[in-house]
Amino acid sequence: MSPDTLATQIKREEIVQRVANHLVARGFEDSGVRALAASAGISDRMLMYYFETKEELIAQALLLLAEGMAASLDELVPQSRASASQIVAALTDNNEQSDLQRGVLMLWFEIIGLAIRGGDPYRATANQILENYEQWIAGKLPPNQRHRAREILAQIEGQLLLNLLTMGK
């Protein structure tokens, strides 16, 4: 990789990280090109230099956030095998969630809403994230329970949504 290409890749990664942080803090209410560029500390023209479309940038930021959440899953369920109830309890315990995790969850449910409406990159990104989480759950379950991974994922998603809706009550 040439130094120029490496510098461009490093800058792109920096922009993606800053935009991901912006999305966690603000959601999609303030996700126009200018707002995203400002969050990355660059002009909107420079943002479009590094990314062909806003959708490409948002998809990369969402996947970065998903990777971070996936890494935290193994911290929440460190054992190689766990029962469905252990997985659900570990992933839905409100007391163990940081502000960052709550922000990511709120953003996640915004993405789900946008994905249901069919908008890209949200539908493709949401499906990819859900598939990864379903595979992670299946990998934690005993072999004779792996077929339940989607059902368990639905239970986790439902509980997380309820937790967010009743937060502070």
CATH number at residue 95: 1.10.357.10
Measured distance between the N- and C-terminal CA atoms of the chain, rounded to whole angstroms:
53
Q: How many residues does the chain have?
A: 169
pLDDT of 94 above 60? yes
The Cα–Cα gap between 40 and 18 comes to 5
Q: Quote the percentage of the chain above a pLDDT of 70.
A: 94
Residue 42 pLDDT > 60, yes or no?
Answer: yes
Domains in the chain: how many in total? 1
Chain segment 46-72, per-residue pLDDT in tens: 999 999 999 899 999 998 988 888 888
Q: For residues 129 and 169, which has the higher predicted lDDT (pLDDT)? A: 129
Give me 147's structure tokens: 């077929």
Q: Tell me what pLDDT residue 99 has.
A: 79
Q: What is the pLDDT of residue 96?
A: 63
Structural domain harbouring 131: 3-166
Q: In whole angstroms, what is the distance from residue 148 CA to residue 104 CA?
A: 25
Model's pTM, two decimal places? 0.82
